[in-house]
Structure 1
Amino acid sequence: MAMIEPVAPSRLRLVAIPRMAAGGRWRTEAMRAVNEPLLLWFTKGQGRITIAGNTRGYTANNAIFIPPGVMHGFEAGPSVFGTAVYFGRDTDVTLPHQAHHLRIRETFPQQELNVMLDTIQRELDSSAPGHDRAARHHLGLLGVWLERQIAKQPPEAPAKTDASKRLVARYTALLEREFRSGMGVADFAEALGVTATHLTRCCNQACGKSAHAILQDRRIFEARKLLSETRVPVSRIAQELGFTSAAYFTRAFQHVTGASPTGFRRAG
């Protein structure tokens, strides 16, 4: 059976962070990954962000780069403003291979990034000859800006929980590949060479959620996207996401969202 997915754009685009949460806070807070590089630039407000199963706080003037396929979710309350840069699946910009959380404290690089983002958006909105090439060239400069800011960041001190964080990162990476398979936490733990109890303990330490909660969060996020962006029958969505029955899917969905799949689709 072919995998079903909402149709998603793959081009370069800039999205205001408040707009990302306009369809519901689940669109930013639930664990998910995208298949293109992503830069989050927060200019106002604060909250928590979870990347690869590890949670930390963010504030204004934080730039967070997330590579393709890395699971993440973040709070985007009414006081949070900023821009998300989706680089597109086929971008040729040189970008980091790992996630980075940059706290930009100096005024000049803050202004530099704001000007670059304004310029890219202006070129994307333009009809002048070569506007698309101009936007891509400015995006290349954004890649250079990222490289330089990463080089300036002080190295983080080793933490006692490094082994736990690495395990949780491995879990979320495996989960992102296999969340449709019907695997449970015990199956993931076995694949990672640990016990389910140890995996859950590490997840709770890293992000305050159990391994099962992270798994359900990812599956239900995908379900909500399919329900809101496609007309695929509920039974097919349940099968696609590895639930043993449509009834079990409905119970799990209602437990997380407070609504049945059909009710959620109608409300959207």
Structure 2
Amino acid sequence: MLDPAPPSNLRLIAIPRLAANGRWRVEAMRALSEPMLLWVTKGQGRITIAGSTRGYTANNAVFIPAGVMHGFEVGPQVFGTAVFFGKSCDVILPRVPHHLRIRETHAQQELNITLDAILREMNSTTPAHDRATRHYLGLLGVWLERQVDKAGDEVKRPDAAHRLVARYSSLLERNFRSGMGVGDFAGALGVTPTHLTRCCKLACGKPASALLQDRLIFEARTLLSETRIPVGQIAGALGFASPAYFTRAFQQKTGKSPSAFRKEP
């Protein structure tokens, strides 16, 4: 029996390229439909995962499962690789996010060698390159599992505030198109809007309303840049009360009207 092929939409992309068409594509809060691993080899910045913000530096590996809301800074001095595993990936991967600081040189080298091997086999035309890609991808999963296990004693259990914000970010990701406001989300979580906002500021430095607005405007930018759906329909699909209200919110966040943003190259 032949080994199954690697995911058809597996991609390895240099981190600077992620922001090539606008830093909003990586900095805004959003979730992906596939798992992702960020391997930072140079530079530093901040990353927000499930509503909690922390700094990242060189030799940090950040794993983000599908469906987890996140956003991160990509400055001009940040380098590394982003691995997008694809929706069909059946390699064993963690079920929760992990931010790993890889201090051991041999572990850093092992990851670099594995990523280079995956990329080489993906771009190869030699026999069995698909199988080789899949096996190296499996080794990447093993490396990640071992590093998560090694870091287990260092990981702090999130406090009540961070757990609430994680629940909020998950609920927001599932319902941001519904027209729900912060008060609606707070009610669904069994807390007051004031308490939810206080916890969000503690966890990521932003109020709950900013996380909601960030997610909505990211989706709007994506639809405007990648589809020809009329602005009014986008407004309705994202739960805005009217196209005019959507336009005001979009312009306040981006400095441009939806139509002007769409015309940009």
State the TM-score, normalizing by the size of structure 2.
0.95
Contact 1:53 1:71 in 2 (8 A): yes
Q: Which runs of 5+ in 2 are unaligned?
A: 1-6
What is the alpha-carbon distance in structure 1 between the residues aligned to residue 119 and residue 251 of structure 2? Answer: 39
SS in 2 for 1:15: strand
Aligned pair 1:164/2:149, yes or no? Answer: no
> By how many angstroms is 1:125 displaced?
1.0
> By how many angstroms is 1:123 displaced?
1.0
Change (3 A) 1:43 1:112: same
SS in 1 for 2:30: coil
What is the alpha-carbon distance in structure 2 between the residues aligned to residue 157 and residue 42 of structure 1? Answer: 19
Partner of 1:89: 87
The amino acid across from 1:50 in the alignment is: T
Identity of aligned residues (%): 71
Partner of 1:21: 19
The amino acid across from 1:254 in the alignment is: Q
The amino acid across from 2:73 in the alignment is: E
SS in 2 for 1:22: coil
Partner of 1:178: 175
What is the alpha-carbon distance in structure 2 between the residues aligned to residue 134 and residue 225 of structure 1? Answer: 35
> By how many angstroms is 1:136 displaced?
1.4
Aligned pair 1:224/2:214, yes or no? Answer: no
What is the alpha-carbon distance in structure 2 between the residues aligned to residue 239 and residue 10 of structure 1? Answer: 34
Partner of 1:135: 133
The Cα offsets for residues 51-79 of structure 1, whole Å up to 9 and x where unpaired, read as 00000000000000001100000000000
Equivalent residue in structure 2 for 1:74, among 72, 97, 106:
72
What is the alpha-carbon distance in structure 1 between the residues aligned to residue 149 and residue 155 of structure 2? Answer: 16
The amino acid across from 1:171 in the alignment is: Y
> By how many angstroms is 1:129 displaced?
2.3
What is the alpha-carbon distance in structure 2 between the residues aligned to residue 23 and residue 10 of structure 1? Answer: 24
Partner of 2:4: none
The amino acid across from 1:257 in the alignment is: T
What is the alpha-carbon distance in structure 1 between the residues aligned to residue 210 and residue 153 of structure 2? Answer: 31
Q: Which runs of 5+ in 1 are unaligned?
A: 1-8
CA-atom RMSD, angstroms?
A: 1.3
Contact 1:167 1:202 in 2 (8 A): yes
The Cα offsets for residues 164-194 of structure 1, whole Å up to 9 and x where unpaired, read as 0000000000000000101000000000000
The Cα offsets for residues 136-159 of structure 1, whole Å up to 9 and x where unpaired, read as 111000000001111111524757
> By how many angstroms is 1:134 displaced?
1.5
Q: How many residues align?
A: 259
The Cα offsets for residues 75-119 of structure 1, whole Å up to 9 and x where unpaired, read as 000000010000011111001111000000111010110111111
The amino acid across from 2:258 in the alignment is: P
Name which of structure 1's ranges 42-51 and 125-134 shifts more when overlaid on structure 2: 125-134
Contact 1:10 1:36 in 2 (8 A): no
Name which of structure 1's ranges 33-42 and 150-159 shifts more when overlaid on structure 2: 150-159
Partner of 2:119: 121
The amino acid across from 2:181 in the alignment is: G
What is the alpha-carbon distance in structure 2 between the residues aligned to residue 154 and residue 171 of structure 1? Answer: 25
5 Å-filtered alignment, 1:1-268, equals 11-156=9-154, 158=156, 162-268=159-265
The amino acid across from 1:187 in the alignment is: D
Contact 1:10 1:89 in 2 (8 A): no
> By how many angstroms is 1:267 displaced?
1.1
Partner of 2:3: none
State the TM-score, normalizing by the size of structure 1.
0.94
Change (3 A) 1:179 1:10: farther
